[in-house]
Chain A
Amino acid sequence: MNVQMESFVYDDKVVRKFVLATVVWGIVGMLAGLLAALQLADPLFNFEIPWITFGRLRPLHTNAVIFAFAGNAIFAGVYYSLQRLLKTRMWSDLLSNINFWGWQLIIVAAAITLPLGITQSREYAELEWPIDIAITLIWVVFALNVFMTLKIRRERHLYVAIWFYLATIITIAILHIFNNLWVPATWTDSYSIYAGVQDAFMQWWYGHNAVGFLLTTPFLGLMYYYMPKAANRPVFSYKLSILHFWTLIFIYIWAGPHHLHYTALPEWASTLGMLFSVMLWMPSWGGMLNGLLTLRGAWHKVAEDPILKFFVVAVTFYGMSTFEGPLLSIKKVNYLSHYTDWTIAHVHAGALGWVGFLVFGMLYWLAPRIFQAELWSKKLSEVHFWVGTIGILLYIVPIYAAGLTQGLMWLTFDDAGRLAYPDFVETTQKLMPMYWARVVGGGLYITGTLMCAWNLLMTWKRRPATYEQTVHQAPALAPNVRPTVESPSDLEASGAHVANVAYRLEYFMKARWHARWEALPFFFSLMVALAVISASLFEIIPTFLIKSNVPTISSVTPYTPLELAGREIYISEGCYNCHSQMVRPIRAETERYGEYSKPGEFVYDHPFQWGSRRIGPDLHRVGGKYPDLWHLRHMKDPESITPHSIMPPFPWLLTEDLEYEKIPKFMLAMKRLGVPYDQGELDRAIDYARAQAKGIADGLVEQGETSGLENKKIVALIAYLQRLGTDIKKEPAAGTPAAVSH
């Protein structure tokens, strides 16, 4: 048979660009993390500069390492491997370039807006709505390029790495869109269409699955391509790939509510999340085992090859993190671990160990190929490996200890039945040595990253004057013809007389059905979408439709105009990064903070502010607990109220003007979401806000503070804080306009 060969050249230029972006943004994101770690060890490192204060820096760190470092690494890895796996150049160089430059612009926009306090406040989805739209567009460009490349491929079957890429593309699109449904109030402010309980549910459906489908599935895909390449060994088990792929993507999507145990989320939802999280252990370990066992017969290479060392440690950390994740999802463990640094240690084991080391292994493997020059120093990459590994251990071990210390100190009662550590700052102080150890560990990890950057730079300098364009050849894709004669059955060949069901079982077990799916990328993608969407809807629909999930409380009314403005400041300063607003129905918490939080108290909270960490105490019942002057002093200089507090000072809140003119826009957006503000309240919003601000400012003057504070941000923040958690203590105010009843 005469087969017509086609010639083609791969586009490695875009890969080189994404590699550069990975390294540059990796350093930026990790340095932001190091500064944040220093700020927790000593608040002096906030330097009283608003733009880099912890509440604004932490989202910058998380967004930079997730979307800039890991995101660019995903694009680099996918663009390189996809072309080779499909034996074709990417469908459109233009789309590849739009993908690259568009993504970098998004990152730059994030790097500008987050330090300015422009945020939607939902973890890992903080970017404001115009950037959300840009992300959607660029993701569509990426998806279109990938799907069209699939269409013009010269390889019939999709390799396992591509299954994971497809799952990533489809699921991230779904997560991003449904988690980012907002009503804009201004260009830089918007409100989630969901409120309170439902908003928390959607956020953690997104948050957990962002970890799943941005930090797990694409990296599993990269593992399946780069690890066998580096080891020069085939993947251990095809069937295990199928099993763990489908179970992983189906089960992962259910697990999000385990982030909300003992909160106001209905218990059935968090219990369901826990059950699926525990089940998730098995498919996760399927991936780990498939990765590690791929090295069978090649373990001797690990000793001499730093790339394989990075991969082995990465996969081991994946196994460890995916064992720990289900463990943390168990209610009784979560009871202890939630809001503590245990979660931070868990996340960093996964991020530094699994994601980071997989990226570094991939970069070292890619460098000689894309720069067409030998790696500058294998020795330096070996040193990077050891420095990085020690860095990870020095980071996570103290932070695990910190998490356990916090959790136990918060929960302990003395013999008289009182909280053993009633003062929150006592628990914080105990963590300081561990926080300093983290600084050292994180510093070592960044040192390793800088070594990698230097090594890649020097390798790039060795590149040829002009990159050689290797021309590859492959036959065009033959039509997908289903064979009329199935391969002979082992059962038949053995002469066994068995029932028809046994033949069907054999067909299923040999995964021939799946081989057929692999030849049909669009059908395959449809099945992925079905798995993800159906699993999501099982939880989302009841959460939104069953009214009893959120019993209403008649005394709960909308925020006043000034409180709403204060809430915007609370969000903008990133207070949710350190303070929860969710008192769990646990005695240690009700003793410390007050009455546990009820679902009906959050019906006007667009977006919710439950938080996920307690670097400082919970604030849901802080309303009315302290006088206004206390809050002013505390925001100006926390140490004057609580010596050794690690809260950063916010002196600019006393000098920056409150933008009263924005308040009606905030209220109008809220009204569109169903918050019962009437037209009169909207029309007089600024008057109401000024009146309430004057009351607070006059009180402060009586206490000896300077006058003129009624125009400053601090009064709005005080108004908001004084309102928190107070509704259930009040009688419903009959006939009073909602916005002025407080």
Chain B
Amino acid sequence: MGSVPDPVRRLLGWRDVIRGIRPAGQVLLYRGHRPGGVFVLLSGSVLFERGGGGLKSLREVGVPEGGAVLLPLPTELDVESPVQITVATEVDLVFVPGTLIESDEQIARALDSRELRREGLRGPRAG
């Protein structure tokens, strides 16, 4: 289990912000869907996949030791996802709804924490 940066732990004091463990194989985001919120991964890893009949794995994103990964970028909330994001190894994550990010400055600030590594839908970007 990964560590939880304090800004992320604080997020759990907002309605609709939920922390949970997701098992391997569960789809976090389907291709073509809008994310509607961001995931902060605290441990485990996810696969970015794309394809027609059979999915092709594009890349695997894991949580570095002592870190946390935010995906997708808050600017991509209304974008139709070009990829499917599937849990590769059990993840501990916090889901933050997009409506909350837009309406609450404290949430936006917490997600801006430099302790979070960012992963965009089209590729990794530095936080």
CB distance from B16 to the nearest CB of A (A): 8
Q: A643-B21, A643-B92 are in contact. Are A426 and B3 (CB under 8 A)?
A: yes
Compute how far the CA of A537 lies from the CA of B66 in the bound complex, rounded to whole angstroms: 49
Asked if A629 and B10 make an inter-chain contact with CB atoms under 8 angstroms apart, the answer reads: no
Measured between beta carbons, the chain B residues less than 8 angstroms from A633 are 12-13
- The listed residue (A421, A625, A704) touching B15 by CB distance below 8 A is A704
* Residue of B whose beta carbon sits closest to that of A414: B66
Q: Which of B4, B13, B14, B21 contacts A423 (CB 8 A)?
A: B4
B13 touches A627 (CB 8 A): yes
B13-A422 in contact (CB<8A):
no
A421 touches B13 (CB 8 A): no
Per the 8 Å Cβ criterion, residues 260-312 of A in contact with B are none
Q: A-B contact count, CB below 8 Å? A: 55
| B66 & A643 in contact (Cβ 8 Å cutoff) | no
| Smallest CB gap from B16: residue in A | A704
B residues in contact with A420, CB < 8 Å: 66
A681 contacts the other chain (CB 8 A)? no
A462 at the interface (CB under 8 A from B): no
B107 to chain A, nearest CB (A): 11
Question: What bracket does the count of chain B residues touching chain A fall in?
Answer: 10 to 19
Known contacts A641-B19, A643-B19, A643-B21, A423 near B3 by CB under 8 Å: yes
Specify which chain A residues have a CB less than 8 angstroms from the CB of B6 in the assembled complex.
422, 625
Given contacts A414-B66, A626-B9, A630-B10, contact A423 B2 (CB under 8 A): yes
CB closest residue in chain B, given A418 = B66
A626 to chain B, nearest CB (A): 5
CB distance from B93 to the nearest CB of A (A): 10
Residue B5 is within 8 A (CB to CB) of chain A in the complex: yes
Say if the beta carbon of A644 comes within 8 Å of chain B.
Answer: yes
Query: B2: shortest Cβ distance to chain A, in Å?
Result: 7
Cβ contacts under 8 Å, B20 to chain A = 643
Q: Which of A418, A421, A425, A703 contacts B14 (CB 8 A)?
A: A703
A700 to B, closest residue via Cβ: B15
Docked-complex contact A641 and B12, CB < 8 angstroms? yes
Q: In this assembly, does A642 line the interface, its C-beta being within 8 Å of a C-beta of chain B?
A: yes
Is A628 positioned at the interface, with any CB of B under 8 Å from its CB? yes
Q: Does B27 contact A (CB under 8 A)?
A: no
Interface of B is mostly: loop
B1 interface residue per 8 A CB criterion: yes
Assembly CA distance A421 to B2 (angstroms): 9
For the complex, give the distance between the alpha carbons of A429 and B15 in Å.
28
A625 / chain B contacts, CB cutoff of 8 Å: 6, 10
User: Residue-by-residue, is B1-35 near A (CB-CB < 8 Å gives 1, otherwise 0)?
Assistant: 11111100110111110011100000000000000
Residues 536-555 of A at the B interface (beta carbon under 8 Å): none
- Whether B14 contacts A629 by the Cβ 8 Å rule is yes
Which residues of chain A come closer than 8 Å to B16, judged between CB atoms?
A: 704
Task: For A422, give the chain B residue with the smallest CB separation.
Answer: B3
Task: Type the 1/0 row for A436-466, where 1 means its CB is closer than 8 Å to any CB of B.
Answer: 0000000000000000000000000000000
Contact B10 A422, beta carbon cutoff 8 Å: no
When the two chains form their complex, are residues B1 and A425 in contact, meaning their CB atoms are under 8 A apart?
A: yes
Look across to chain B and name the residue whose beta carbon is closest to the beta carbon of A633.
B12
Does A636 touch B at the CB level, under 8 Å? no
Q: Contacts of A176 on B, CB cut-off 8 Å?
A: none
Give chain B residues whose Cβ lies under 8 Å from the Cβ of A627. 10, 13-14
Could you tell me the distance between the alpha carbons of A420 and B67 in the complex, rounded to whole angstroms? 10
Given contacts A420-B66, A629-B15, contact A644 B1 (CB under 8 A): yes
Contact B13 A626 (CB under 8 A): yes
Instruction: Using A629-B14, A643-B19, A704-B15 as known contacts, say yes or no to A422 and B5 having CB atoms under 8 A apart.
Output: yes
Of chain B, the residue at the smallest CB distance from A634 is B12
With A423-B3, A425-B1, A426-B1: A641-B66 Cβ-Cβ less than 8 Å: no
Q: Give the complex CA separation of A641 and B66 in angstroms.
A: 18
Q: Which residues of B contact A629 (CB under 8 A)?
A: 13-15
Contacts of A628 in B (CB 8 A): 13
Chain B residues contacting A641 (CB-CB under 8 Å) are 9, 12, 19
By a CB distance below 8 angstroms, the chain A residues around B9 are 626, 630, 641-642
Q: Is A631 an interface residue (CB 8 A)?
A: yes
Residues of B within 8 A of A423 (CB): 2-4
CB B98 to nearest CB in A, in angstroms, measures 17
**Residues of A contacting B4 in the complex (Cβ-Cβ under 8 angstroms):** 423, 425, 642
Q: How long is the Cα–Cα vector from A643 to B13 in the complex, in angstroms?
A: 15
Q: Does A640 count as interface, using CB distance less than 8 angstroms? A: yes
A346 to B2 Cα, complex, angstroms: 31
Residues 605-632 of A contacting B (Cβ, < 8 Å): 625-631
Alpha-carbon distance between A420 and B2 when the two chains are bound, in angstroms: 11
Chain B, residues 42-74, CB within 8 Å of chain A (1/0): the string is 000000000000000000000000100000000
A34 to B119 alpha-carbon distance, docked (Å): 47
Name the distance in Å between A33's Cβ and chain B's nearest Cβ: 28
What CA separation (Å) do A182 and B10 show in the bound complex? 39
Chain A residue at smallest Cβ distance from B18: A640
On chain B, the residues within 8 Å of A421 by CB distance are 3, 66
**Bound: A76/B5 CA distance, A:** 55
Q: Which residues 63-107 in B have Cβ within 8 Å of A in the complex?
A: 66, 92
- Assembly CA distance A625 to B3 (angstroms): 17
In the assembled complex, the Cα of A643 lies from the Cα of B2 at a distance in Å of 10
Contacts A640-B19, A641-B19; A429 near B1 (Cβ below 8 A): yes
* Complexed CA–CA distance, A642 and B9 (Å): 8
Give every chain A residue within 8 A of B19 (Cβ-Cβ). 640-641, 643
Residues of B within 8 A of A414 (CB): 66
Q: For B12, what are the chain A residues with a Cβ–Cβ distance below 8 Å?
A: 626, 630, 633-634, 640-641
Question: What is the chain B residue whose CB lies nearest that of A427?
Answer: B3
In the assembly, what is the distance between CA of A547 and CA of B13, in Å? 41
A628 to B15, CA, bound (A): 11
A589 → chain B, closest Cβ, in Å?
15
Chain B residue numbers with a CB within 8 Å of A642 are 4, 9
B35: shortest Cβ distance to chain A, in Å? 22
Note all chain A residues with C-beta closer than 8 A to B21. 643
Give Cα distance in the complex from A423 to B8, angstroms: 11
Q: In the bound complex, what is the Cα–Cα distance between A425 and B9 (angstroms)?
A: 12
A residues less than 8 Å from B13 (CB atoms): 626-631, 633
A703 and B6 CA atoms in complex are apart in Å by 20
Which B residues are CB-close (under 8 A) to A426?
1, 3
Q: Which residue of B lies closest to A641 (CB)?
A: B12
The answer for the CA separation of A423 and B20 in the assembled complex, in Å, is 16
| Closest beta carbon of chain A to B56's beta carbon, Å | 32
Q: How far is the CA of A397 from the CA of B14 in the complex (A)?
A: 43
Distance in Å: Cβ of B102 to nearest Cβ of chain A? 17
| Alpha-carbon gap, A256 to B112, bound state (A) | 47
User: Nearest-CB distance from A116 to chain B (Å)?
Assistant: 31
Closest approach, in angstroms, between the C-beta of B118 and any C-beta of chain A?
19
* Residue in A425, A626, A643 whose CB lies within 8 Å of B10: A626
In the bound complex, how far is the Cα of B64 from the Cα of A414, in angstroms?
Answer: 13
For residue A429, which residue of chain B has the nearest CB?
Answer: B1
Nearest chain B CB to A619's CB is how many angstroms away?
A: 14
- Return the CB mask of A627-657 against B: 1 if under 8 Å, else 0: 1111101100000111110000000000000
Q: Which of A416-436 contact B (CB under 8 A)?
A: 418, 420-423, 425-426, 429
Q: Which residues of B contact A703 (CB under 8 A)?
A: 14-15
Other than A425-B4, A704-B15, give 7 A-B pairs with Cβ distance below 8 A.
Answer: A414-B66, A422-B5, A630-B9, A630-B10, A631-B13, A640-B12, A643-B20
The 6 closest A-B pairs by CB, nearest first: A630-B13, A627-B13, A423-B3, A704-B15, A703-B15, A629-B13
